[in-house]
With several copies, the nearest count.
Chain A
Amino acid sequence: MAAVAARELRDGEVVFVGIGLPNLACNLARRTHAPRLVLIYESGAIGAVPERLPVSIGDPALVTGSSMVCGMADVFQSILQSGRIEVGFLGGAQVDRYGNINTTVVGSYERPAVRLPGSGGAAEIAIHARRLLIVSKLSLRAFPERVDFITSPGQRHDGVPRSRLGMPGAGPVKVITDKAILEADEATGEMVLAALYPRVDDADVRREVGWSLRRRPRLGRVEPPSATEVRLLREVLDPRRLYLKG
């Protein structure tokens, strides 16, 4: 998933980087096709060039050698709210038909079965980033028809498109999973099947999605990670396998 996500980034773009896989993807892109990618962390590090894989979004390695450190009021007001983030990355415990994301609770808010961490910066990233990439492993539990709680808004809320709700960014344009890539359909706002990984078919994906998944007329093929991508990920970026499993 990290290698697939990395390919979605264009050189010179300004990316709001989350921890974990998104961080791996951004640093991989910076070392392959996008050396001028500007990495911004919500902790306030801009133009970070981490010498080690940051364990948290506030790792000291994000500060040392970065081009600017600013307070979080500047990050959220003058950088994110001002529309300067071109790409946002989010994961989520649940992702639904319209790309709404839940990282707050499983079950009811008042008596949750599982209490998750909550929004952090996710709600505002989903609202303001010019385009949003969701990264999440495919499973029936993670892809319900409707999330239990909307932490970060997707393409529609109760049938109303996001632009009508006043959201500046384009919202989730792609969902990158471990088996396929889904894309937002321009007309309906639904996440539809757009491309398959090697040795995965249509039915493998449908089995793990909780709604009747539509598909693009012509499906793309996701290229497997190249030897360079694999080497960089395993040997340089995450040699201790903090985020890469298997």
Chain B
Amino acid sequence: MRDAVARFVHDGDTVVIEGFTHLICFAAGHEIIRQGRRNLTLARLTPDLIYDQMIAAGCARKLTFSWAGNPGVGSLHAFRRAVEGKGAAPLEIEEYSHFGMVARFSAGAARLPFWPLRNYMGTDLPRVNPRIRTVTCPYTGEQLATVPALNPEVTIVHAQRADAEGNTQIWGLLGVQKEAAFASQRVIVVVEELVDQSVIRSDPNRTVIPGMIVHGVVVEPWGAHPSYVQGYYDRDNDFYLAWEPISRDPDKLARYLDEFIYAVPDRAAYVRKQPGLAARLRAGERFSSGVNYGF
């Protein structure tokens, strides 16, 4: 992870660490914080705790997003302090709805400059975000909303498994992992398990990201904690609850960053610091059966 971040994530980049609740790569976010990246434009649908931590650590100049909360719990307080003018540094924001963000990644993946969608009429979002525009349909004459393509410099995708060439398989919630990866100039895949290519090739319909668009593969077990990986470990809902008082208090938040990010060299050390994780969160077994690819 250290080498991948050093090589592919640069100051000033637009960085995407995607994953909708599922497969959020905290390991990558922590390493970016440790390496002290600055002036990043962070983009994802739900900033979640990971971007709250990166904002608190001073990595971000700008945030592009569609829902900034701690799901089912409350606020992202580092984000709120920055936006409400109470933080250490200003934070520029560019705001869409989920559909808008999904469409921006879809346009980016297809290398089209925009994506049309039927949306935003009657809302105040286009008033505060001039990048939400309209286009006239050449068949019906009706006006449709548009959003511009999002083509980040680097996207980091967490996944269950990949082979050495980066052919990556995901099951469970897919979010916009595929679109974000295809939209990006550089792609880092972080996996729970590196597998032989025969595993991938035995079930090619399970592959979501092809190796040809992947620049680096990092093996990092528990790399998504406190987010989760279907079939590997459950979401650490207790930690999401615990984040509320931590993030509410800038001092507590600074101590959290010190203890769990700056003071640990890597993910393995982070996991060792929390010895109960496996016992508490390791996934149960609900195996699917195989299908026949013969002919």
Chain A residues close to B by CB (< 8 Å)? 14, 19-20, 38, 42-47, 49, 55-74, 76-78, 80-84, 100, 104, 109, 111-124, 127-128, 149-154, 157, 162, 165-168, 242
Query: CB within 8 A of A38: which of B45, B97, B212?
Result: B212
B108's nearest neighbour on chain A, judged by CB, is A82
> Which residue of the partner chain A has the closest CB to B294?
A64
Interface residues of B (CB under 8 A from A): 20-22, 45-46, 65-69, 71-72, 75, 79-80, 83-85, 95-99, 102-103, 105-106, 109-112, 117-125, 128, 142-143, 163, 165, 167, 171-179, 182, 197, 200-202, 204-205, 207, 210-213, 228, 230, 234-235, 237, 240, 283, 286, 293-295
CB atoms of A69 and B205 under 8 A apart: yes
**Closest residue of chain A to B144, judged by CB?**
A166
In the complex, what distance in Å separates the CA atom of A47 from the CA atom of B163? 13
Assembly CA distance A68 to B163 (angstroms)? 12
- The DSSP consensus for interface residues of chain B is loop
Is B124 within 8 A of A19, CB to CB?
Answer: no
Residues of chain A within 8 A of B142, CB atoms compared: 166
The answer to whether A63 touches B102, judged by C-beta atoms less than 8 angstroms apart, is: no
CB distance from B51 to the nearest CB of A (A): 13
Q: Which has the most chain A C-beta neighbours within 10 Å: B175, B204, B283, B286? A: B204
Quick check: A71 and B179 within 8 Å, CB to CB?
A: yes
- Which chain B residues border A82 with CB–CB below 8 Å? 109-111, 182
Bound Cα distance from A38 to B295, whole angstroms: 22
Chain B residues within an 8 Å CB radius of A14: 212
**Given the complex of chains A and B, what is the CA–CA distance between A38 and B214 in angstroms?**
14
CA distance A20 to B72 in the complex (A): 7
A216 vs chain B, min Cβ distance (A): 25
Q: Assess whether A166 is in contact with B21, with CB atoms less than 8 Å apart.
A: no
Question: A115 contacts B80, CB within 8 Å?
Answer: yes
Instruction: Give the residue among B69, B122, B143 with the most A Cβ atoms within 10 A.
Output: B122
Given A64-B230, A69-B174, A121-B99, 15 additional A-B pairs, CB 8 A: A60-B234, A63-B204, A63-B293, A65-B204, A67-B165, A69-B172, A72-B45, A72-B98, A72-B176, A77-B110, A82-B182, A100-B122, A118-B97, A124-B98, A166-B143
A residues less than 8 Å from B175 (CB atoms): 43-44, 58, 71-72
The reply to whether B124 and A70 form a contact with Cβ atoms under 8 Å apart is no
Listed A/B pairs (29) with beta-carbon separation below 8 Å: A19-B71, A19-B72, A38-B212, A46-B204, A55-B71, A56-B237, A58-B71, A60-B235, A63-B204, A63-B295, A67-B197, A67-B204, A67-B211, A68-B207, A69-B171, A69-B174, A70-B174, A71-B178, A71-B179, A73-B179, A76-B102, A76-B103, A82-B111, A111-B85, A115-B84, A117-B67, A118-B66, A121-B99, A168-B118
Instruction: Say yes or no: A60-B111 contact (C-beta < 8 A), given A43-B173, A118-B66, A119-B66.
Output: no
